[in-house]
Amino acid sequence: MDFTHPIFLFVFLPLTLAVFHIARTFAGGRQALAVAALASLVFYGWWSPLYLLLLAGTIVFNYWMAVRIAEDRSSGLLAFAVCVNLLLLGYFKYRNFFLENAGLLLGHDWSLGAVFIPLGISFYTFEQIALLVDIGDGRAAKPKFLDFVLYVALFPHLIAGPIVLFRELDHQFEKLRRGAFAGLQYFGPGLVVFIFGLFKKVVIADNLAVYVNYGFNPQFTLTMLEAWAAAVGFGLQLYFDFSGYSDMAVGLALMLGFELPINFDTPYRATSMIDFWKRWHMTMTRFFMMYVYSPIALAWGRVAMERGMGNWQTFCLAVAAPILATFLTSGLWHGAGWTFVMFGLVNGIGLVVNHAWRQARLPVLPGAIGWLMTMITVTVSFVYFRAADITQAHTMLAAMVSPSKLIMPNWLSGWADRYGLPWDTLILFNSGTFTAKMAAMLLVAAILSVLLPNWAKTWPTMVPRIRLAAATAAMVWLVGNWLGVSRTFIYFQF
């Protein structure tokens, strides 16, 4: 059951909302919180009761550790708890990756067979680590058990984020207990934001997936134009798929009366890599900046000061190296494979270059050039993100920059002969009709990625208007036409 499944949309969600708000109105805030917690556990257990036990086990363990750490501020307890969480995540997500690579180094073929990754394990593990660290640093107090359960398992953000900090939810839980909660005040905007996210996923991302899956088929070797179309298509698919999920998460939380942080802020308007990562997967970026980059940068910056290093030496040690370490870690967080390591490395290098440009006080690039360079860098990184392996990624990237791969499709042979260009029967662009449909889909998606409003961000200013009602009704109609063929969210694998 995911957010696009009919059972979720027409059974689980209406029932949960009704029982939650009835409990809140007639029984009280604590009972409403218990309803939300129970519904969230049922939502997660729909996939696998066995992994519901894993989720429940991590919650009990981390709550116990949170209480212990809050009582004596032990750095040893904190280190132990963080290590246990990382070892659990590593066992389920990275065991084969490390075994296979160790085996390659030692000349052995080591593997534990197929790995099933529990849904959302990366997200709920990092959220619990964040709270433990915040308690250890004195930025958070000992939580109530029910609040802790809801912080980790609240179903709108449980499977694929946003990655929430405890301080963003605990005061909302307390308001609900005191009867000072928003109630149904946010329900209307939440419904609109949810439908908007559903539209992004079902109508745009899932229709792009048809072309992207064909283009990234490992059996096919693409020409330059085909490779660029597949790469750009995946960048758009990923954006609408994940931002669609994130918008739905915000909308669902609002329908319950809770506010979640946004995850995307029109990232394809970014004119630099720094700007892009302030807009893309914002809660993940925040987590890695707070709990990975900042500690490394502060420690290595102190070393640079103690040793009296020059400006560029300090930059390399206290800025460039922490950025690369952070984004390599971020790449591995996305998946256990060298393709994800390369995804992190490309973005890390792009950010280092961006910061070095500012450090050198070079002229600010015109917006159009900055945007183009940013989009090219991001697109290259997404090729690694989507490719089945490093070989496929490098084959596609080589096709994107190789003049010998500039080949026209056979249905443009007359035009190609006129200008002395080679032509052939192509894999992806094998017919004019298919190519026209793909080009139209890419163009529409690209325009929408830049021009669509960010209702997950601006919902507090949303007011009922005829135009808003018409747009929402149109999205519902379009979703209804494609809902039956919806596919799993890309980030469910993480």
CA-CA-CA-CA torsion sign (121, 126, 131, 135): positive
For 408, phi then psi, to 5°, come to -85, 150
Listed residue (264, 100, 260) closest to 189, CA to CA: 260
H helix or E strand, kind and range, residue 409: strand 408-409
Tally Cβ neighbours within 10 Å of residue 402.
12
- For 57-76, b/e burial (b = at least 16 CB within 10 A) is ebbeebbebbebbbeeeeee
- Vertex 65 angle, CA 59 and 66, to 5°: 85
In the annotation, is 157 catalytic?
no
- Vertex 380 angle, CA 377 and 225, to 5°: 115
Q: 283 with 263: CB under 8 angstroms?
A: yes
Q: DSSP letters along 235-266, please?
A: HHHHHHHHHHHHHHHHHHHHHHT-----S-S-
H helix or E strand, kind and range, residue 391: helix 390-401
Which of 21, 157, 281, 334 does the annotation list as catalytic?
334
Q: 206 with 490: CB under 8 angstroms?
A: no
Listed residue (191, 120, 194, 190) closest to 153, CA to CA: 120
The two counts, helices (H) then strands (E), for the chain are 24, 2
Tokens in use for 45? 């257990």
Q: 166 with 259: CB under 8 angstroms?
A: no
Cis amide linkage into residue 189, ω under 30° from 0: no
Q: 255 with 190: CB under 8 angstroms?
A: yes
Q: 238 with 385: CB under 8 angstroms?
A: yes
Active site residues: 334
